[in-house]
Each structure stands twice: as C-alpha cells, then as structure tokens.
Amino acid sequence: MSTPLIELKSVSKYFGSVIALKDVTFDVLPGEVHCLLGDNGAGKSTLIKTLSGVHTPDAGEIFVGGKSMRFGSPRETLNNGIATVYQDLALVPLMSVARNFFLGREPQRGVWPLQQFDIDYANATAYRELRDMGIELRDPEQPVGTLSGGERQCLAIARAIHFGAKVLILDEPTSALGVHQASIVLKLIVQSKARGIGVIFISHNVHHAYVVGDRFTILKRGRSVGTHSVNEISRDQLLNLMAGGKELVDLEAEIERLKHAKPGV
Amino acid sequence: MTSNKQDERIRQVSFLGRLLSRPELGAVAGTILVFVFFAIVAGGSGLFSAKGIINFLEVSAQLGILAAPVTLLMIAGEFDLSVGSMIGFAGIAIAIPAVFWGWPIWASIIFAFVLCGSIGALNGLAVVKTGLPSFIVTLGSLFMLRGLTLGITRGVTGRTQVSGIHQLAANDPLNSLFSGQVFSGFISFLSDLGLVAKRSDGLPSITGIPVSITWWIILTLVCTWLLTRTRFGNWTFAAGGEANAARNLGVPVARTKITLFVMTALAATLFAAIQVLVTGSADTLRGTQKEFEAIIAVVIGGTLLTGGYGSAIGAMFGALIFGVVQMGIFYTGIDTDWFKLFMGAMMVIAVLFNSYVRNRAMRSR
C-alpha cells in the first residue's frame, strides 16, 4: 500500500470552549478520491482549513508524504503541493480566462525594466490545459464572468493542477451547480484522479460524492463516524449514515403523513 | 463544450460587436461627437487651425498626464482625491527651494518628486493599513496638503505666490524637459509644405509642439503597456476586480496599490513642474479641482468606478474631450461658465453608455 499524500492523525481543534474537531483521522492516497461528507456544522470547514494550513491543530499530527509537518500558512501548504479550491474559487470575473489562470504566477519574458507578461504563452497554455481536461474554451481572452458555474470550477481546478498540486481539496465544488454543470466537474475529478492526484472532495451531496468517490468519511458534530470504501457501502447506507438513519426515517414518515392528510383537515 | 464540435451556443461575433465591447468606445464616440459639434459650431473660429489645435491639446495634455496614472489607480479600485492639492504642494516644493534657498532648479525638481512620491506612499500606506475607503483617506490628504501648502508658503515667503522661476530656470539642464517645445524643425518643415499656416511675417503660426503633449502621449503609452502587457498590470486589474481572490493567489495587493498611489503623486508633481517652468511661478491654489477633472476624464474613458476594468487610452480620449470642449467653448464665444455644466453632463452620459458597453462585454461572448 502506498503512503498517503496527506494524513491527519487524531486531529482536534478547539475554538474557545467549542470543540470543532475531535480525534479526526483522515488521509488521501495518490489517485484516490476521498469524500468528506457531513451536514452543515459537522466540522467540514474546520477540517478543510486544517488540511490547507489556515488552522493548526490543537492536538494530533499532520503527515505529508509520511513526514510529520506543521504548516504555518496556506502558502506553505500550497508549496507542498496541497491546493485548496474554495467555493469563491479565487477568480476575478472581469479578467480573461488566461489572466486568471496565471494570476499571481505570471509568466514573464524580456529583461528588466522591459519585462513583460507573456500573454501569448498564457493564452496558449490556458487554452491547452483546459482543453486537455475536456473544457473547450471559446476564447482564452474571454472574461471569466462569461463562463458557466461549472466552467469556472473547472478553471480553478485546472489551474491548481497546472501549478503542481498533488493533493486537491475541493470545497463543495458541485453544490451550486445544475445537473449538467455538476457532471462536467465530476468528470474533471475523475480525470485528476487518473493523473495520480489525491482528491479530497467535500460535499453534503451524497449522490455526487458516490459517483466519483473511492472512500467516504462522514463527519458529525466534529467527530468522524467512520470511513468506508465504495465497495462496502451502498448509496442509501451512506445517506442514512450522514443524515442519521433514524432521523431520516422519521422525517420520511412525517412527510408521507402530511402528503396524505386531507386538505382542510 | 466538452467535445471538439462547434458549440451551438457560440455565435459569430462581428467586428462591430467586438468593437462595441471595448472600454474606450464611449470616449472615442464622445470625441467624434465633440469634434463634429465644434466643427459645425466653431469651424471658422480658428479652433481647428494649427494654433487652435495646439491650444486644446495643451489643455488636454495637462489633464491627460494626471488621468493616465489615475486610471491605473482607479482600476485597482482606489481613488486619489489629493492629486489637485498635490499639484499646488509640488509647485511650492519646487519654487521655495529654488527661489528662497538658492537651490538649482534641477535639484528642486528632484526634491519635489522625492517628497511628493513619499507623500503618495503615505497615502497608499494609510489606505492599505487602515482599510478605510481611499475616498475618505485622500479627502483628508486633499485638505491637509492644501493647508500645508498655504501654511508653509505664507510662513516662508509671507505671500501665497512665488515667482521669478523663469530667470533661474533659463540655463537649467532640466528646463527643456518640462517647458518649451519639441519637433520645431518638423513643424517648420510642415509649414514649408503649406500644411501649417504661416503668420504674416512668414514664420509658422506655431513653432513646435509643447513638451507637455509629448509627456501626455508617453505617459499614456507607458500606462497602457503596464496595464495590458505586464505582471503589474495583471495585479492592478485583480486588485480592483476581486482583491480577496488576488490575495489568496499570492498577488501583493497592498504593494500594488501603494505603488499606484506613488505614481499618481509623481504625475501631480510632473504636472506642477511643467506648470511652474512654463508660467515661471508657483501658487498655493494651483491644481484646485484637478482631482475631479482627472476622475471625469478617466470615467469618460470607460474605467469602472468600482475598479477592475478600464483603459488608459480611453482616459486619453477623455482628456481630449475635456480640452476640446474647454477651448471650443472659448473659441465660439459662449460664456465659459457653461463649460462645467457640459462636462458634468458629458460624464453622466458617458457612465451610462459605458455601463451598457460593459454589460455587453460580459454577455456578448
């Protein structure tokens, strides 16, 4: 078995008296999609921020490539090949696709003081990288604001991969998207996996997660309620685990009763 | 979208359609409009003679020198309302050392550039560190700088004006950089060809192109290059478009903004240096309202007030409109009081038009 790209061992995080994470163990292997599932307030955001170096854990350890690490900043995490694509995507809508793709890491040519942003290279590279991932751009100079939600998500992911991400942390990449748009993103996740990238897919949508996931970890009230591999758990079981089986059954019964209630009674 | 076959949602965008999504469009259209208007109204008044053209270009150039860097700053999402006061301050910073302390003109000019550049950096630092809107911070600098200028000038000289720069500057190595004319030979060549009218004494009606016009064009080109062809330009767009995203991607947003505040301060100093050396004097009230005129030129030029979008070439046309209208009203003999009404209305119309163009740009492709 290969070494996990990143591994959390019994990690806890407290904010004052609030226990945001307690004894969470989580890892991702190369070429694997590990889904992190949980309802609102389950601690997903805290876990992402711990993985990406925004928070340092109060207890427990983080291993990167088998070595114990302590990240001081998100930049440091990024330099270790762990890229987080947040929901805001860090895109500038009024700027072109290519300019967004290289924002903060612009290719340059020429010598100072006549050093230029190599726009031709940027256009060509952004176009090629996105095409390789199955996104056919109309024009690399079109503003990001003209892209669809799915295309924007893909642009952010493609950018992270291009700049050497070995681990991709995707925060709810499909939650705001329609069916077709979400499928484009899911396809890109599978492609990233095929490239040997470890994907941490955070979602509360079991249907999306189940399509691409290899393993699933369910968080509930800051604790992990278990990690399951895709061939040992069904979609419904997963859904039950996530929502808390009994609560969901009760809810369904309640809805069923309301549906059959006579109007006016 | 996912295959190589033509996306059925792409429509062929015509050349005109592409043209219609440029930020400069409003300003170019406005320029044409204004030229046609004054060609009809003031055609015979000499507005479009060589002399008249130089006159309005000189007005435009002064404003354009400010507008070019102000465009960049506004694209980065910030205002600098202290530009006008900075002009007055810089003029005095050149004049007092030269006239009262016996410094050579070149040293006074360098002193003014360094001093005003530092104040620009302070403006930028104050905006970045406090997180307050630059509108408020530089509104403060607007008043503080004007007060400082008045206080220092009256304290040192007992008056509010310093004159006598002409004699001191006559043989200064930097004098020709900021005053006088260029391309004199070329103009007399044109006049020999009959393209430039001659006066009754046989000399051309204009003897050259004022150096300020050259500065205007150079600054516009440099700012355009910075904006569209350099990393710094990318950061400028990003700082105004989505500062948080830019920061998360490692763009030094604070440094970019501070640099831009320094640039507007230096442009104000350049404006002052030209004015002081051309007129031979400095006055504490110089540059009043120039900050707003610069913003008008920039906004007419298609730059978005909220940042993230714009063009220095557009601002150049904005400044050109300003110059043509100001001199056009003068040449037609209309009471110049009407000038401000016209410019204000022009700006509002330009903003409406530009927001239409921008919405188009975001949809059309």
A92/B241 Cβ within 8 A: yes
Give the bridge partners for A218, in sequence order: A37
d(Cα B205, Cα A248) in Å, to the nearest integer?
Answer: 90
Q: How many other CB atoms are found less than 10 A from the CB of residue B18?
A: 12
Does A263 reside within a domain? no
Does A200 reside within a domain? yes
For residue range A45-59, list pLDDT tens digits in order: 889 888 888 888 999
Cis peptide bond upstream of A30, omega within 30: no
Number of compact structural domains in chain A:
2
Backbone angles phi, psi at B318, to 5 degrees: -60, -45
Higher pLDDT pick, B290 / A111: B290
pLDDT score at B280: 92
Most confident of A61-75, A245-259, B104-118: B104-118
Residues A119, A193 within the same domain: no
pLDDT score at B243: 92
Task: Answer for the pair A77, A53: CB distance below 8 angstroms, yes or no.
Answer: yes
Does A243 reside within a domain? no
- Fold classification of B23-32+44-357 is ABC transporter involved in vitamin B12 uptake, BtuC (1.10.3470)
Residues A88, A105 within the same domain: no
Residues A118, A177 within the same domain: no
B237/A138 Cβ within 8 A: no
Interface membership of B361 toward A (CB under 8 Å): yes
For residue range A224-233, list pLDDT tens digits in order: 888 989 888 8
Does A105 reside within a domain? yes
Q: Which DSSP letter does residue B12 get? A: P
In this predicted structure, the answer to whether residue B42 has a pLDDT above a threshold of 90 is no
Q: Tell me chain A's radius of gyration from C-alpha atoms.
A: 21
Residues A87, A11 within the same domain: yes
Residues A101, A230 within the same domain: no
Q: How confident is the model at residue B9 (pLDDT cuts 50, 70, 90)?
A: very low
Does A21 reside within a domain? yes
A178 closest CA partner among A198, A205, A218, A158: A205
Q: What is the pTM of this model?
A: 0.87
Q: How confident is the model at residue A245 (pLDDT cuts 50, 70, 90)?
A: low
Give the bridge partners for A83, in sequence order: A168
Q: For all residues of chain B together, what is the average pLDDT?
A: 88
Q: What's B169-185 look like in SS3?
A: HCCCCCHHHHCCEECHH
Secondary structure (DSSP) of B15-41: HHHHHTT-TTHHHHHHHHHHHHHHHHH
Amino acid at A45: S
Domain of A223, CATH number, reads: 3.40.50.300
Does A247 reside within a domain? no
Task: Answer for the pair B100, B331: CB distance below 8 angstroms, yes or no.
Answer: no
Residues A86, A47 within the same domain: yes
For residue range A130-189, list pLDDT tens digits in order: 888 878 888 888 889 888 888 898 999 999 999 989 999 999 888 888 888 888 889 999
pLDDT score at B1: 39
Task: Answer for the pair A119, A140: CB distance below 8 angstroms, yes or no.
Answer: no
B79 closest CA partner among B126, B30, B9: B126
In this predicted structure, the answer to whether residue A252 has a pLDDT above a threshold of 90 is no
Instruction: Work out how many CB contacts closer than 8 A connect A with B.
Output: 91
Backbone angles phi, psi at A84, to 5 degrees: -110, 130
> For chain B, what percentages of helix, strand and coil (3-state, to nearest 5) are there?
70, 5, 25
B10/A136 Cβ within 8 A: no
**Among all residues of chain A, which has the CA nearest to that of B248?**
A90
**Chain A residues closer than 8 Å to B308 by CB:** 92, 94-95
Residues A208, A82 within the same domain: yes
For residue range A178-222, list pLDDT tens digits in order: 888 888 889 999 999 999 999 999 988 888 899 999 999 998 888
β-pairing, A215-220 with A33-37?
A: parallel
Sign of CA dihedral B185, B191, B197, B201: positive
What range does the domain containing A50 cover? 6-94+158-234
A134/B234 Cβ within 8 A: no
d(Cα A51, Cα B187) in Å, to the nearest integer?
Answer: 69
In this predicted structure, the answer to whether residue A60 has a pLDDT above a threshold of 80 is yes
Residues A88, A100 within the same domain: no
Q: Please give the share of chain A, as a percent, with pLDDT higher than 70.
A: 97
Does A265 reside within a domain? no
B116 closest CA partner among B222, B273, B279, B221: B273
Q: Chain A residues within 8 A (CB-CB) of chain B?
A: 74-75, 86, 88-95, 99, 102-106, 108, 115-117, 119, 134-136, 138-139, 142-143, 145-146, 151, 184, 187
For the segment B283-302, the average pLDDT, to the nearest whole number, is 93
Task: Answer for the pair B282, B165: CB distance below 8 angstroms, yes or no.
Answer: yes
B1/A135 Cβ within 8 A: yes
For residue range B217-244, list pLDDT tens digits in order: 999 999 999 999 999 999 999 999 999 8
Residues A115, A221 within the same domain: no
- Residues in Cβ contact with B260 at an 8 Å cutoff, skipping those fewer than 6 apart: B69, B72, B73, B76, B78, B124, B236
Residues A99, A229 within the same domain: no
B84 closest CA partner among B34, B138, B134, B43: B138
For residue range B125-153, list pLDDT tens digits in order: 999 999 999 999 999 999 999 999 999 99
Residues A180, A74 within the same domain: yes
**Chain A residues closer than 8 Å to B11 by CB:** none
**Tokens representing B294?**
């610069």
Does A118 reside within a domain? yes
What's the Cα-to-Cα distance from B42 to each of A229, B317, B332, B338, B351, rounded to whole Å?
82, 20, 5, 16, 27
Residues A218, A107 within the same domain: no
pLDDT score at B8: 47
Secondary structure (DSSP) of B180-225: SEE-HHHHHHHHHTTSS-B-TTSSBS--SEEHHHHHHHHHHHHHHH
pLDDT score at B189: 82
Does the interface ipTM go beyond 0.90? no
Closest residue to A91, CB basis, from B1, B233, B245: B245
d(Cα A207, Cα A39) in Å, to the nearest integer?
Answer: 14
**Within 13 A of B118's CA, how many CA atoms are on the CB side?**
6
Amino acid at B205: S
